[in-house]
Amino acid sequence: MLELRRVDTYYGNIQALYGVSLSVEAGEIITLIGANGAGKSTTLMSISGITSPRRGEILFKGQNIVGMAPNNIVQLGISQVPEGRHIFPLLTVSENLDMGAFLRRDKKGIEDDRAYLYDLFPILKKRRNQPGGNLSGGEQQMLAISRALMARPELLLLDEPSMGLAPLVTRQIFEIIQKINKDQNTTIFLVEQNANLALQVADRGYVLENGRITMQDRAELLLANPDIQRAYLGI
Which residues in this chain contact ligand ATP in the complex, by CB under 6 A? Answer: 11, 14, 16, 34, 36-42, 83, 193
Scored b (16 or more CB within 10 A) or e, 123-151 reads ebeebeeebbeebeebbbbbbbbbbbbbb
Look at residues 23, 34, 36 and name the one whose alpha carbon lies nearest to residue 209: 34
Instruction: Provide the minimum distance between the beta carbon of 234 and ligand ATP in the complex, in angstroms, as a whole number.
Output: 16
Contacts of 147 (CB under 8 A, 6+ apart): 81, 87, 96, 97, 99, 100
Instruction: Provide the minimum distance between the beta carbon of 119 and ligand ATP in the complex, in angstroms, as a whole number.
Output: 32
Instruction: Provide the minimum distance between the beta carbon of 191 and ligand ATP in the complex, in angstroms, as a whole number.
Output: 7
Closer CB to ligand ATP, residue 163 or residue 201? 163
Instruction: Provide the minimum distance between the beta carbon of 40 and ligand ATP in the complex, in angstroms, as a whole number.
Output: 3
44/34 Cα distance (integer angstroms): 13
Instruction: Provide the minimum distance between the beta carbon of 192 and ligand ATP in the complex, in angstroms, as a whole number.
Output: 9
Q: What is the arrangement of strands in the sheet containing 29-33, beginning at the earlier edge strand?
A: 78-81, 155-159, 187-192, 29-33, 204-209, 212-218
206/65 Cα distance (integer angstroms): 21
Instruction: Provide the minimum distance between the beta carbon of 76 and ligand ATP in the complex, in angstroms, as a whole number.
Output: 23
Closer CB to ligand ATP, residue 82 or residue 152? 82
Closer CB to ligand ATP, residue 110 or residue 215? 215
Query: What does DSSP say about strands 14-24 and 2-11: parallel, antiparallel, or unpaired?
Result: antiparallel
Closer CB to ligand ATP, residue 66 or residue 191? 191
Closer CB to ligand ATP, residue 51 or residue 96? 51
Q: What is the arrangement of strands in the sheet containing 14-24, beginning at the earlier edge strand?
A: 14-24, 2-11, 55-60, 63-64
Closer CB to ligand ATP, residue 32 or residue 78? 32
The strand pairing partners of 130, in sequence order, are none
